[in-house]
Structure 1
Amino acid sequence: MRKLILFGDSITAGATHGYPTPTFSNKVRQALGDLPVDILNRGVLGDDTIGGLARIQSDVVQNDPDVVVIFFGTNDVQVPQMTATKFQANLENMLTQIGADKCVLITPGIVGPTRIEHRPLATLKQYAQVVLDVATKHDLPVVNWFATASQHDPAELLQSDDLHYAPRAYDLLLEKLAPLLRQALNTTEK
């Protein structure tokens, strides 16, 4: 059986009202249908690529995954010492440790009006471009979630905290992500 790890922050963790939930994992499971795959969610509330790198061996590498979804950036944009260059270096380090051929990338999305001061949309867009550039450099599947999410009213996609995702956001994300996951899971060999 294939093993898929969802690796990221509270959005990956399906945070609802401040607590992790199986929302994202369940939607991935539904989207993959009867494809035989174990799904491990390694989303951590408040995490960024710095924290992700600190736990990558125990949460990802030691689990010997076939495919890993890397979904960071929304918190990275507010880390004072973080820059787009450092964010890129952290993503590249993750790819090296996991094995780039196992990875599917997702760009950060959007936030609502009450979160814009600390997570400006222009910075989120810049970090999304970093993810796209890394995907191009390594010829990896990627979801430009920022582009998709930007076409929608934040109130349609986000919970009342203007940060975490409502079910509709995960549904839209899976429209783009599920085909990439099916392809990646069907082409990996154990």
Structure 2
Amino acid sequence: MEMKHNARFVFVGDSITEEGRFDDPEGVGYGYVRFIRDYLLTEFPNKNIEVINRGVGGNRIIDLVARFQRDVIALKPDYVSIFIGINDVWRQLDEPELDQIYPEKFEEIYHQLIRMVQERTEANIILIEPTIYQEDMTSLGNELLKPYVNIVRDLARTYGVTLIPTNREFLKVISNEKHPTLTVDGVHMTSTGDMLIAKTWMNAFIQEFL
């Protein structure tokens, strides 16, 4: 499957996707979305590529579905990249009094998101695995995250859409005792973490669409 000549990419997610987009004159932000945008523009100068960042800090999947029509569907994308899940776990740890989004509810809402894209657009769907919670493979957050990652993997298989195996790649890196620092606080990315997301995304995208 070849990438379209006129290609509009919409990236939607939480703060890892947002990454300064509201302060960026271009609206792209300074994280993995910018790395991907810059790669696409330089690698395919003959194509008309537009990259739109619709990340919003603090979003859980329930927040995503509430704004999905406005922030994704209405933009008529050719490619929709969805990156969500870490806050659905994080809120269980730092705000246990909230109405929590446990795996069953997470999966139910994620089905809604995918069906909205399929029914209302002709876009290709790209699902990014939630990355990590703390740079420690044995942390409680990473244990809680496992079913959410598995749900994203299962959904990609069920719907036959592209999977970006970021959790696998992050765990591979942090399994090395001398690994680089990937996050500033266990969740939000350093530039190295953003590069790892972008590299993993581009490797899967190239394999699928180029």
| Structure 2 partner of 1:147 | 168
Inter-CA distance 184–42: structure 2 relative to 1 (3 Å threshold): farther
Residue identity in the other structure for 2:107: Q
Aligned length: 181
Alpha-carbon distance, 1:120 to partner = 1.2
Q: Distance in 2 between matches of 1:47 and 1:91?
A: 14
Inter-CA distance 24–113: structure 2 relative to 1 (3 Å threshold): closer
| Structure 2 partner of 1:28 | 36
CA contact (8 A) 2:17 2:31 kept: no
Matches for 1:57-76 after TM superposition, within 5 Å:
57-76=69-88
Q: Which runs of 5+ in 1 are unaligned?
A: none
Match status 1:171 vs 2:188: no
Match status 1:13 vs 2:25: no
Alpha-carbon distance, 1:36 to partner = 2.7
Partner SS for 1:110? coil
TM-score normalised by L of structure 1? 0.84
TM-score normalised by L of structure 2? 0.76
Alpha-carbon distance, 1:150 to partner = 1.1
Partner SS for 1:28? helix
Matches for 1:1-190 after TM superposition, within 5 Å:
1-14=6-19, 21-32=29-40, 33-34=43-44, 35-77=47-89, 78-79=91-92, 80-99=99-118, 102-112=124-134, 120-153=141-174, 156-159=181-184, 161-182=185-206
Per-residue displacement from partner, 1:80-133 (whole Å, max 9, x unpaired)? 42111111111110011112862100110112269x98x711111211011000
Q: Which runs of 4+ in 1 moved over 4 A?
A: 182-186
CA contact (8 A) 2:134 2:142 kept: no
Q: Distance in 1 between matches of 2:14 and 2:155?
A: 19
Inter-CA distance 127–15: structure 2 relative to 1 (3 Å threshold): farther
CA contact (8 A) 2:134 2:141 kept: no
Partner SS for 2:127? strand
Q: Which runs of 5+ in 2 are unaligned?
A: 1-5, 93-98
How much is the aligned-residue C-alpha RMSD, in angstroms?
Answer: 2.6
Partner SS for 1:12? helix
Inter-CA distance 185–61: structure 2 relative to 1 (3 Å threshold): farther
CA contact (8 A) 1:31 1:174 kept: no
Q: Could you say which structure has the larger radius of gyration?
A: 2
Partner SS for 1:40? strand
Q: Distance in 2 between matches of 1:183 and 1:39?
A: 20
Residue identity in the other structure for 2:194: Y
Per-residue displacement from partner, 1:16-48 (whole Å, max 9, x unpaired)? 9xx783322220112222243100000000001
Partner SS for 1:45? coil
Alpha-carbon distance, 1:15 to partner = 5.0
